[in-house]
Structure 1
């Protein structure tokens, strides 16, 4: 009895503490769940400085431009301060804060002063279909938009919006698409050391701020990490009159993601096949062509640079690489009976990687093409009779890599 009394004395005082702790946790949940909208701050700063010239002209004009830039930086700083708590663990937020400090010093901007005025919204009442691209286009043009398709897959193959087919030896970060609405960047790495072709290891997709429909939104995928969510953890964005402008879904978590952007009528599919990523996109011509002359490097528009092209059709020395070449052809013929560019890409990838799983990149790219191209006669592309300009050094490295695969077989 005496020990029980002592136990009550020890335990009972903890009850109000437990209740208080739970209450504090509940009160803090909204703060924890608050979204970090640092991308909104970034896009507002870009919008505020978009019309500022890069310099030049008279001293007076340079002073005006710098004053406008300083105003935009101060506004940017205010926006980041508002995001301090929900963004406290976000690396992009801390990078933005440091970048603002550096730019304020670099441009000799006073900490106190006028701030940038928000860009005015378009005049007039927005229709219910403003954020539904296809309906809006049909109402305006009386017809459905023309859709274009691009895909990037394997070691590294590109089907451009104009239905050209290239195999590239590019390494590092390259823009696939860069227009007024969308930016997509591909990062490639050597598949197996420097003697092998490159594969896609990272994909970055930025849906740019469009005030009527969405704030800027970021999606990133890396090898072995294809999330079914945007970078901020959300799976949709931009709700207007019951419609969501951006949505993310998956049929195979960690291996596949589809992003629908109805405000620009665009579908983006990201996959992992074997040890590489792939991307397919379907977008209206009006959206694809919405860029200026300074955005002259887009792999989905013009393919890879001439100096970086490889010959997907078998190089002459490949005929001597039996039985690897024959085995690759037989395997790909079972998966891809049509002797098109997808079949050629499959054979190329199998020989250069020695990995049977690499054939699935071409299979998935062909399936995406079937889903995204309405005219079924245009799905299959016949390989060109000869490759474009080929870098001899790159070709030599490729052949050495293939000989290494055969020798190790």
Structure 2
């Protein structure tokens, strides 16, 4: 029961952190994208007003016929006569009508061209409005996705608070999976630490002395282990300051300004340690070459300058790069370490509960077997003793009959 409470408490804490992160993301999303919504709305309103004005200006208005046109039409319908004055008037009227028709047609065409220009001018406005509306649609669709994620996280939190059997089984499976993954990552980290130790142990002896001992251990080995421990500690503090882990809650609850300073300080420390390891890795191959040359000189032979000695700088460079990278990889060990610690508590409780159930089952089985064995032994004892008791009773009956006969005589 205690293990179940701890497991639900850890799950509740993690789920609350997830919900808080989602709310922070939504706040960032709103401040970044939706903060420009009033300006965008104003731009869309202005564009709509301009488009409406241009559209109204581009509407087709038929030209109003002048009053004297009807009179001229009436005169033009007078039949032609032989009178030259009448013919001249009619011809003049026809010319006036032709000029008027051409002027009206030209004016109408100019007005139509102007309307087309206005409509052509509104086309980029429509496109701009379409782009803005599409951007606004993307913003609100992204906001809807965020809210859906928050709903899912809150539903998950409600299920955890309810503590149903389904949630408990899911948490057990998740804890076991996290424990296995964290154990594998820690195993990889340990292997990397061993490689790192072997990389810097020999050149470290040149710094602290190869003949120095701290108890039964060589001082160079202790110094190399201390350097690895400093890298791991720096990584733990860095991950906590970045809020990737929560091994030290005090660091995560600090003010953001102080936390950023801690992040910068830990990065500087880690960079310094990486540079130290890179220099030690570069020295390692040089020391190995010097030692090999010294052995050959002590053996009485000349030291040949072979191709292997000429290209000693290549493994030295590789060891230097490896010594620079490994501290940063060890710094990430804080994440699987936290997973291992948090899931290990649950897995240990589940393992202990399983062992207790197995022990109870074994004891119950042993008790059942012993009870059955006792009954078998009692039955076997009764089987052996019953004939003897019958014989004893028969003998006592004979003795009693003989004693009664003697008394009668």
TM-score by length of 1: 0.22
TM-score by length of 2: 0.22
Per residue, is there more helix in 1 or in 2? 2
Greater RCO between the two (CA within 8 Å, min separation 6)? 2
Bigger CA radius of gyration: 2
